[in-house]
Amino acid sequence: MDDKATAKTRRALGMGITYLVFALLTWVLFVPGTTSEQLTTFTFNVTAGNLPPIPDLTFHTLTGIYLMVALAALAGVWQLTKGFKNVYLILGLVSVFFVLAFLAWAARDKSMNLTGMIGATLLSSIPITLAALSGVMCERSGVVNIGIEGMMLSGAFMSALIGSVTHSTWWGLIAAVLAGGLTAALLAVMAIKYQVDQIVAGTAINILTTGLTSYFSSRYLQTNGALNNPPTFDRISLPLLGKIPIVGPSLFNNTLVVYTAIVLVFLIYWLLFYTRWGLRTRAVGEHPRAADTLGINVFRMRYINVILGGMVAGLGGAYLVLSSVARFDELMTAGKGFIGLAAMIFGNWNPIGAFGASLIFGFADSLQTKLAILRVPIPSQFLLMAPYLVTMIVLAGVVGQSRPPAADGQPYEKE
Amino acid sequence: MSTQEQKATSQLESLARALLIPLLAVFTALVIGALLIIVTDDSVIAAFREGLGAGLSRSWSVIALAYGAFFTGAFGDVYHITETLRITTPYIFAGLAVALGFQGGLFNIGAEGQYFIGGLTTVYVGYSITGLPMIIHLPLALLAGMIGGGVWAGIVGFLKAKTGAHEVINTIMMNYIAIRLAEFLLDVGGPMARPGYRPVSPEIQPSAYLPQFFPSDPTIRFNVGFILALIAAIFIWWLLFKTTLGYEIRTVGQNPNAARYAGINVSKVIIVTMFISGTLAGLAASADILGVIHFMPNAFSAGYGFDAIALALLGNSHPAGVVLASLLFGALRAGATNMQGIAHIPVDITSILQGLIIIFIAAPAIIRAIYRLRGLEEGERLKLTRGWGQ
Amino acid sequence: MPPVLELKGITKRFPGVLANDHINLTLNEGEVLALLGENGAGKSTLMNVLYGLYTPEEGEIYVRGKKADIHGPNDAIALGIGMVHQHFMLVPVLTVAENVMLGMESVKHGFVLDREDAATKVRAISEKYGLEVDPNDLVGELPVGLQQRVEIIKLLYRSADILILDEPTAVLTPQEVEGLFEVVRSLVAQGKSVVFITHKLKEVLALADRVSVLRGGKVVGHADPKTSTERDLASLMVGREVILTVPKEPAQPKDVVLKVENLEVMGDRHRMAVRGISFEVRSGEIVGVAGVQGNGQTELVEALTGLRPVVNGKITLDGRDITHETPRVITETGSAHIPEDRQRDGLVLGYPIADNLILNTYYLPPIASGLVMHANVIAERAERLVEEYDVRTPSITTPAGNLSGGNQQKVIVARELSREVKLVIAAQPTRGLDVGSIEYIHSQLVRKRDEGAAVLVVSAELDEVLGLADRIMVMFEGEIMGIVPAEQATKENIGLLMAGVHPEAGKEAA
């Protein structure tokens, strides 16, 4: 009990110091290069949606940066003296202060469209979110899934093929979900029935699906363009929500797949923590033998979860095709499955946390295109590296702790 | 029978046992590959419409053409044989990297990233230093590749030993960081890019070239790197099975509790294992750069990270097995290129074969069920990782 | 009225072991039946058969007079049988209410968890049986005693009326034990029937209505706690068969080799497992550590060999302070260690015998010079040791995992005792072995003693300690109950000490 108490105070102390470090970093990085005359302009208008224009926000760059430094420092001092209740929420806020200061600095003497930024962030985060959700579902039941990439790839391929053949986005979507589920079933059989090392099984799935999709792609899709010309989902502007200034046009004027992904985040969260299925899933992932002694079929729960998780990954593949580029390209997932895995860990195996992490990763992605336009002297590659670095830091337990389900990756054997 | 004869037969028997599953796995994968080629061939489908006999004979000729092209592509003439061996070279290094990790109970899924970093360090030494004789410059460039890859993997080993952070996730993260880092350095106008508009490094000095075996014929790219790879395999075999460090690595890999009992510093061994594993992945890059392409392009890797895992599994994490598996994969890749040229079968068939081979090796129960094998080490199961936790 | 539960002729075999040998047992409604026996007597196996986790080869189970087919926990639960396992089956990250309802959840609309309802039910059970616990607490943050309550509530939630408690006091503090007893009494008062598995005599006398004693997989007797003494029960439990005799001369103890002062060691569950003990082992003597398993012996050995950190106190080996040294330094100072779990710690099962014989000397000359190991030296050494220590194996290249338990242990004994050592620590050195191997290993330990080593033998087998040791140290709940010279030791007085009773106190009570 004593150990726990000291660990708690040490973590509280560490958090406070982290906030202060953020404040200091903001100062050191952005103040020296800024003169007191420079102005930053944030704009909020987008062409879509026919909304009444919102006035631009123009302010002294330095003032903005100082404000952010002050807010972060205040959080640090408060944490060290009084202590916050939800330190991770505050950590998120402090990071937002840092990012805002950075944006103000990057756009000094220029203007930046924040609304466009929000939209781009959301769109880049959707496939990562779906990949992460897939991982959450599998791993909460105790099966490590590093084959997400392969499941997405199968989904993407099938959605392009079936979508093209049927000229229907819906059939394409259904085909993608089924393909993801089928690929996951292969993982499930290997991991649960044959008790294959789950990382090896996932790797095999990645290699196999890469081969199969590329093979069929070059055999059919590339030689016959009609097979790789799927329709795409239309954007749907949600009534009322779509009219909200700033966030409306970027968040609520999207395709069905985007809405589905966001709904899935909260749905899976709710299923995991508020339903019988979720309770059993978590029990099986944490202590399968305990679940077994209470008459829960461990194998069945794991099969169901892995296959459902594969279906979600398949949906992620469909997003890439049916909601984005309208064609299948070989290796088009480009590592999104692995980034999703990182987001899952970063989000502590929690659907909403994983979504938050995916948004951060998506933000880094959209920011680098934005910065290239603004010609900011920071190589975009470093921004793209940041999510991976942060994941490693989280994993090492330097800031916060990420804890996998206790039985994650261990095959279950009956006595 | 004398005891010595007995020993010899039992050794032969165990060798046969060790080879049985891998051979059947490869064979089964090739059969499935053949079926795939048949069912995706329009002429075969047309022939089957005419009749079963026509279909079967057409199937046979398609397979014969495909695997024939495949065989000539891998071993047809001097050029193809040397090309197979050239492709084999980095496979051996990368496969050894993963195999060494497996021996130490570590899953180095990051050979890709270590390959990138090894490529960067080796190419940097290769082009930036001038005026050295080959006898110094070449070893220096190789050493640079080793250190680059070694440090990159060593970081992951350190994190595992000190914080328990799982090496699989961290090596994946390090892969992406390495790729971004290479992009930054080699991007047009980047610190390591050559002047001009191509995102590639400058050419390395000829003094850092790995010597060619057929310098008179520039199309033959077979070079000393292959010999280095064989030496590396022998060295790793020696290290693993003839030295105290190898004993420590294998003990930590097989039973960390017994290692602790035996007084082995488990943390140290984990870091050292990852470091050496990384040096081998770095050498794969050195072999490609110093032996073949002589500069480093931005988009560099050919997916060695995952291939290496397949190689290590197929080779049963033994250096000799890795060399054989690498020869097979080298032949697959060289043959597949020819197969695409002649029989119009996409090269991606190699990935399919590789994926199937891993599945069959990892789940030998499937192979046993197919071939009705019994009594072959029942409880034996490949177990490399223990989840994300410790 | 038929008994609530009747077992008839239950027989369960494991490879090489007859765990349950035609066991008959009855449990009447509203009583506490104590199932008494040493470790390995077959108690837990029997209860796992009853709970459907094992399938017996022979025998029948009757519940309330009706023949029952139990193929899994679900069948047992349906029959009203519930079991608290020795190792708790709780999910630490879930709350009390969630753990309780798992598998039989309170739901609304078919699948949405109704935590309110579950909490209410848990509270109702808590109040009815005096099992105070907050349904909304996380189980992982509860002390062990409360976790056990959650386990009991789990059974009651499933309306179990036959409760099996497997060694329930093994992990509890004395205060928690008292609390548990009250709970059991209140359960019985409300019509439940309880099987209480234990090896602690005091508990039997304090709680049970009837006692059945198991030894070697058989029921060897029944007793009435009201008319029995601890002494009676002890003799029933350990039996009266001839002590395994180990031929040996009287010890001639010389200098102190191992000196332990006020040693405190933490156990896995963040409880002090070794509580400030002090003792010495001299050159030329065998000190036996007797005690029921789980009383701190494992942690003591791990601390002595450097595998577990010492919280407080001092360990001196041959005049050198090794309190905080690594296993390697301790080995090099002259300590041999035959570990308790030979497959987990003592061997690399995939390695050939030859490689296992050098597990902690692989880096020393002549086996290695610098980095290079000498295969021929290793092979010669292996051939010699296999011969000398009578390891039955086809060859020295046979993997250790392919050997029988006895031969595996001989490999370890050969490795540890062939070295020049001043101290031998042998933990459970003959567990699960055949008689021939046991005799052989005993004679080797005696030989080492006669060569002048100090020997510390830890064993849960009382016969082994009595036969082998020159002095017997009894551990109970992390403390030393007493150190008895071999000539004064009897099964009775050591057995009582093992149960936490001083023989004198026992006499007075009788």
Distance, C-alpha C207 to centroid of its chain:
22
Average pLDDT over residues A372-389: 78
Q: Chain-wide mean pLDDT for chain A?
A: 87
* Nearest alpha carbon to residue C384 among A343, B213, A244, C376: C376
Please enumerate, as own/partner, the contacts of B258-261 that have beta carbons within 8 Å and a separation of 24 or more: B258/C344, B258/C345, B258/C346, B258/C347, B258/C348, B258/C359, B260/C307, B260/C327, B260/C345, B261/C305, B261/C307, B261/C327, B261/C337, B261/C339, B261/C345, B261/C346, B261/C359, B261/C360
Chain C residue set in contact with B, beta carbons under 8 Å: 305-307, 326-329, 331, 337, 339, 344-351, 355, 358-360, 362-363, 368, 371-373, 375, 395
- The winner for highest mean pLDDT among A360-369, B50-59, B96-105, C169-178 is B96-105
Q: Residue B382: pLDDT above 70?
A: no
- Residue where a domain stops, chosen among C211, C238, C265: C238
Nearest Cβ partner for B388 among A196, A330, A409: A409
Average pLDDT over residues C372-392: 93
Chains near B (3 or more Cβ pairs under 8 Å): A, C
Contacts of C54 in chain A (CB under 8 A): 415
Distance from CA of B288 to the nearest CA of C (A): 31
pLDDT of residue A108: 84
Q: Tell me, which fold does domain A116-395 have in CATH?
A: ABC transporter involved in vitamin B12 uptake, BtuC (1.10.3470)
Chains near C (3 or more Cβ pairs under 8 Å): A, B
- The reply to whether residue A381 touches residue B184, judged by beta carbons under 8 angstroms, is yes
Q: How far apart are CA A184 and CA A137, in angstroms?
A: 12
Q: Residue B377: pLDDT above 70?
A: no
H or E stretch covering C112: strand C112-113
- Residue where a domain stops, chosen among C175, C204, C238: C238
Co-location of C155 and C272 in the same domain:
no
Contact A351, A272 (CB under 8 A): yes
Which of B11, B248, B255 is the best substitution to test chain C (most C C-beta atoms within 10 A)? B255
- Residue where a domain stops, chosen among C181, C212, C238: C238
Residues of chain A with CATH 1.10.3470.10: 116-395
Q: Which distant-in-sequence residues (6+ apart) come within 8 Å of A249 by Cβ? A: A46, A48, A49, A51, A115, A119, A237, A242
Q: Which of A129-138, B181-190, B193-202, C242-251 has the lowest mean pLDDT?
A: C242-251
Q: Is residue C365 part of a domain?
A: no
pLDDT of residue A137: 96
Co-location of C221 and C151 in the same domain:
yes
Contacts of C360 in chain B (CB under 8 A): 261-263
- The reply to whether residue A282 touches residue C92, judged by beta carbons under 8 angstroms, is no
CA dihedral C202, C207, C208, C212 (to 10 degrees): -30
Contact C310, C263 (CB under 8 A): yes
Q: How far apart are CA C118 and CA C71, in angstroms?
A: 28
Q: What is the pLDDT of residues B274-305, one digit of tens each?
A: 999 999 999 999 999 999 999 999 877 667 88
- What percent of chain B lies above the pLDDT cut of 90? 56
Q: What is the pLDDT of residues A309-330, one digit of tens each?
A: 999 999 999 999 998 888 898 8
Co-location of C111 and C234 in the same domain:
yes
Q: Which of A19-23, A81-85, A256-260, C367-371 has the lowest mean pLDDT?
A: A81-85
CA angle (B304, B307, B309) in 5-degree steps = 110
Contacts of A3 in chain C (CB under 8 A): 270
pLDDT of residue B150: 97
C431 band by pLDDT with thresholds 50, 70 and 90: confident
- The reply to whether residue B247 touches residue C326, judged by beta carbons under 8 angstroms, is no
Q: In what order do the strands lie in the sheet with C81-84?
A: C81-84, C162-166, C193-198, C32-36, C210-215, C218-223
Average pLDDT over residues A20-46: 86
Q: Which distant-in-sequence residues (6+ apart) come within 8 Å of B247 by Cβ? A: C355, C358, C362, C373
Distance, C-alpha B184 to centroid of its chain:
26
Phi first, then psi, for residue C214 (nearest 5°) are: -110, 135
Question: Helices in chain B by DSSP H: which ranges?
Answer: 3-39, 42-50, 52-75, 78-103, 111-128, 134-163, 167-186, 225-242, 244-254, 256-261, 266-288, 304-314, 319-343, 349-362, 364-371
Co-location of C189 and C263 in the same domain:
no
List the beta strands (DSSP E) in A92-201. 111-113
Our count of domains for chain C comes to 2
Q: Residue C178: pLDDT above 90?
A: no
Q: Residue C362: pLDDT above 50?
A: yes
| DSSP state string for A152-179 | HHHHHHHHHHHHHHHT-HHHHHHHHHHH
* Nearest alpha carbon to residue A337 among A205, A186, A188, A191: A205
Co-location of C71 and C208 in the same domain:
yes
Nearest Cβ partner for A287 among C73, C91, C112: C91
Contacts of C305 in chain B (CB under 8 A): 261
A304 in contact with C at a CB cutoff of 8 Å? no
A209 in contact with B at a CB cutoff of 8 Å? yes
Contacts of A384 in chain B (CB under 8 A): 176, 180
Co-location of C266 and C172 in the same domain:
no
Q: What is the pLDDT of residues B224-280, one digit of tens each?
A: 999 999 999 999 999 999 999 999 999 999 999 999 999 999 999 999 999 999 999
A2 band by pLDDT with thresholds 50, 70 and 90: very low
Q: Residue A168: pLDDT above 90?
A: yes
Q: Residue C461: pLDDT above 70?
A: yes
Query: Which domain, by its residues, includes C449?
Result: 256-351+420-509
Coil, strand or helix at C86: coil
In order of their start, the domains of chain B are: 17-371 (1.10.3470)
C143 band by pLDDT with thresholds 50, 70 and 90: confident
Tell me which residue has tokens 């050419």: B203
Q: How far apart are CA A349 and CA B201, in angstroms?
A: 41
Which of A200, A217, A302 is the best substitution to test chain B (most B C-beta atoms within 10 A)? A200
Q: Which residue has the higher pLDDT, C382 or C235?
A: C382
- The reply to whether residue C359 touches residue B251, judged by beta carbons under 8 angstroms, is yes
Q: Residue A106: pLDDT above 60?
A: yes
Co-location of C334 and C427 in the same domain:
yes
Q: Chain-wide mean pLDDT for chain B?
A: 88
Contact C424, C454 (CB under 8 A): yes
pLDDT of residue A286: 94
Q: How far apart are CA B81 and CA C336, in angstroms?
A: 57
Average pLDDT over residues C174-180: 82
